[in-house]
Amino acid sequence: MITTIKPNVLSRTLLLFMMAVILLAGVSCDSSPSPKQQEPAENKPATDNRGVIVAMGDSLTSGLGVPPEDAYPAQLERLLAERGHDYRVINAGISGETSSGARSRVNWVLKLKPDIVILETGANDGLRGIDPNLIEDNIEQIIVRLKEEDITIVLAGMMMVTNLGKDYIANFNSIYPRLAQKHQVILMPFFLQDTATEPSKNQADGIHPNSEGYRIITANLLPFVEKAITSDSQ
């Protein structure tokens, strides 16, 4: 069963947020990351028997502008440990990445042998006005590839800015729930819930979450990840 949350009405702050994300990400949407960027470092000690969660995404996952320990993957690992879940969380985010870039490096992510993947991608595509059908196909192929390896997926939904037109917004916003339903993956309906419209939860640029913003994102994400852990253990 897919859990749904009705997101708050997008405000002008969210409009400015989403319009500027790609400008500060510093990477072209049409260019794939270099192989050096694509291959996440494998730092697992030989004696580390914990489960593996890979956080795959763009600058919102990589934690652009905050210390590594404050990005959501690091905060999530600590929170899971506090709740008795024996998992490490690998930050495999790349600033500026599009769904095409994510699709091109999914096999690199698989080298980390994840039990669970948190997939957050597509916002940069939308800001460039890329065809929602292409975005959906990219995300779907990532999901299919991960499921071929029996990996549990948490899909982080995104919502698009209002200046792109009603049809585009409707088509974009429907991608995530449709794919979650089709492939029976766990859906977090809106990754930036409770942070995108709150200036105090973002950095000075008014765009990327600050440490407190990431704390809120992590807390919102937690029940979906715990659902994935339960599914992974069955």
Query: In sequence order, which residues have a C-beta less than 8 Å from that of residue 56 and are 6 or more positions away?
Result: 92, 93, 102, 106, 109, 117, 118, 119, 120, 121
CA–CA dist 88, 94 (Å, integer): 19
Mark whether 205 is an active-site residue: yes
8 Å CB contact between 157 and 187: yes
> What is residue 195's DSSP assignment?
T
CA–CA dist 101, 31 (Å, integer): 7
> What is residue 192's DSSP assignment?
T
Mark whether 59 is an active-site residue: yes
Q: CB atoms < 10 A from the CB of 68, how many?
A: 10
Catalytic site residue from 194, 205, 211, 232: 205
Catalytic site residue from 32, 58, 95, 208: 208
Residue 68 is encoded by which pair of tokens? 């590594």
Catalytic site residue from 32, 59, 99, 100: 59
Catalytic positions are 59, 205, 208
